[in-house]
Amino acid sequence: MKEHRILINKIILTLSTLAAILGLGFLIWILFVLVKNGLGAMNLNIFMYDGAPPGVAESGLRHAMVGQLMLAVGATVIGVPIGILAGTYLSEFGQNSKLANFIRDISDIMMSAPSIVIGTFVYAIMVAPMGYFNGYAGIVALAIMMIPIVLRTTDDMLSLVPNTLREAAIALGAPKYKMITQVVYRSAKVGIFTGILLSFARIAGETAPLLFTSFNNNFFNLNFNEPIGSLTVTMFSYATSPYEDWQKLGWAAAFILAMFILGLNIVSRFFINRKRK
């Protein structure tokens, strides 16, 4: 019987190791192709010029990078405060009430909802009534995706703060809002900030919601009331075009986006490890 358990353990361990190696191999393959094609397409023109017709040397991705940053920052301005306040309500006020548990369930569903569904929803309530694509709709779509991530992270991080800290603050005469802002938030700030970084990395790489909302713009534009260029949609358009110079720009956009998201994840891991220590 003992030998049978040892044999099963070795088989499972071998299969698990092979599966891990296979997954890691595909990841290395993807990164190799991305770095090989993306790094080779990088040049200063990408950061200096906007989109141009095929064959024009002065063609770049400045309009897309600025547009992507505007949309992501706009969504962060909306999504982070709402997510933190909602998570604070769940942890500090709602706790295990029926309403709080219902909100948690809805938040979990929203986190797993396909991004294209959110894009079509915002299209129906903002783009179709207005009659044109616009940056405001793109910001709302990304904010909707961001809120449940920040909400759940805030709720989980605040619930890890020991109740003794809350009791000590109240015993010293601190009102509840001061106890939350000056004691609970400070104890959970690293975890909350990590959740914000992860949610920002999530929305920074989204394409489907923007196709239905802000659409795209091959020219430099800072007006949110008009279509705005984004790195993800521009990458999709250029990579699927029949023109070789646009395809190179598409690879460059993929490389920039991948390195940016990878950097955000590395920073978030650093904060997670710091929190654990």
Structure tokens at 175: 């009102």
Q: What is the pLDDT of residue 269?
A: 79
Q: Check: CB of residue 140 under 8 Å from CB of residue 180.
A: no
Comparing CA positions, the residue from 66, 36, 31 lying closest to residue 51 is 66
For residue 238, the SS3 value is: helix
Residues 204-262: tens digit of each pLDDT: 989 999 999 999 998 899 999 999 999 999 999 998 899 999 999 999 999 999 899 88
With contact defined as beta carbons under 8 Å apart, do 140 and 122 qualify? yes
Predicted pLDDT of residue 2? 74
d(CA 83, CA 153): 9
For range 23-49, the mean pLDDT:
91
Give the residue, 182 or 276, on which the prediction is more confident. 182
CA distances from 262 to 97, 198, 252, 259, 277 (A): 38, 11, 15, 5, 23
pLDDT of residue 149 exceeding 70:
yes
Global pTM reads 0.89
pLDDT digits (tens, 9 = 90+) for 83-130: 999 999 999 998 888 999 999 999 999 998 899 999 999 999 999 999
Instruction: Please state the rounded mean pLDDT for residues 157-170.
Output: 90
**Percent residues over pLDDT 90 in the chain:** 63
DSSP letters spanning 15-81: HHHHHHHHHHHHHHHHHHHHHHHHHHT--THHHH-----TT-SS--SHHHHHHHHHHHHHHHHHHHH
Q: What is the pLDDT of residue 94?
A: 86
Whether the Cβ atoms of residue 180 and residue 88 lie closer than 8 Å to each other: yes
How high is the pLDDT of residue 275?
Answer: 62
- Grade residue 5 by pLDDT with cuts at 50, 70 and 90: confident
Task: Work out the average pLDDT over 15-42.
Answer: 92
Q: How far apart are CA 81 and CA 97, in angstroms?
A: 22
Would you say residue 277 has pLDDT above 70? no
* Residue 144 neighbours by CB distance under 10 Å: 22
Burial grade of 37 (CB within 10 A; 0-12, 13-18, 19 or more): middle
- Say which DSSP state 229 is in: -
Percentage of the residues of the chain whose pLDDT score is greater than 70: 98
How many other β-carbons are positioned within 10 Å of the β-carbon of residue 129?
8
pLDDT at 1 over 80: no
Residue 120 CA neighbour count, 13 Å, CB half: 5
Mean pLDDT throughout 75-87? 95
